[in-house]
Amino acid sequence: MTIFERLIAREIPADIVYEDDAVFSFRDNNPQAPVHVLIVPKRVIPRVGEAVAGDGELLGKLLLAAGEVARKLGVCSTDEGFRLVINHGKNGGESVPHLHVHLLAGRPLAWPPG
């Protein structure tokens, strides 16, 4: 079981921001911005590059949940704004082999990222 599966199963406490039948979202324990939330599908897809056509609906739910979380946290306006990040593989910064979306906000975010 990945740490995300253990969080979803409530084996480990989490600061939950949003949850529905397909998606679980919580604040990151090592935030890289004032707002740093992870949005995780409850069904495991190891990484985005391993998603298949049958995962399309779940992938869409991840993005819709990201918008809902951003609105809930008050960072959805064009003045405030936020960034979504999906890491894939070691060089992409992936640390947990369970697809997840990082929602970062609360400060200006430079481009390109580091």
Does residue 100 have an active-site annotation?
yes
Q: What percent of the chain has pLDDT over 90?
A: 93
In a domain, 44, yes or no: yes
pLDDT band for 42, please (50, 70, 90 cuts).
very high
Whether 7 is covered by a domain: the verdict is yes
Q: What is the mean pLDDT of the chain?
A: 95
- On whether residue 112 sits in a domain, the answer given is no
Domain count, the chain: 1
Decide if 85 contacts 104 (C-beta within 8 A): yes
Burial 92-110 (b: 16+ CB within 10 A, else e): eebeeebbbbbbbbbeeee
For residue 27, being part of any structural domain is answered with yes
Does residue 110 fall inside a structural domain?
no
Considering the candidates 36, 98, 100, 102, report the single residue annotated as catalytic: 100
Reply yes or no on whether the pLDDT at 114 is more than 80: no
Specify the pLDDT at position 113. 81
Does 114 map to a domain?
A: no
**Full domain range(s) for residue 13:** 3-105
pLDDT, tens digit, 9 for 90 and up, residues 49-105 = 999 999 999 999 999 999 999 999 999 998 899 999 999 999 999 999 999 999 999
Q: What is the pLDDT of residues 20-33, one digit of tens each?
A: 999 999 999 999 99
Joined together, the tokens standing for residue 55 give 């995962």
Does 64 reside within a domain?
yes
Asked if the structure places residue 113 within a domain, the reply is no
Alpha carbon of 114 to those of 31, 63, 93, 107, 111: distances in Å? 15, 23, 11, 15, 8
Domain of 52: which CATH number?
3.30.428.10
**What is the pLDDT confidence band of residue 112, given thresholds at 50, 70 and 90?**
confident
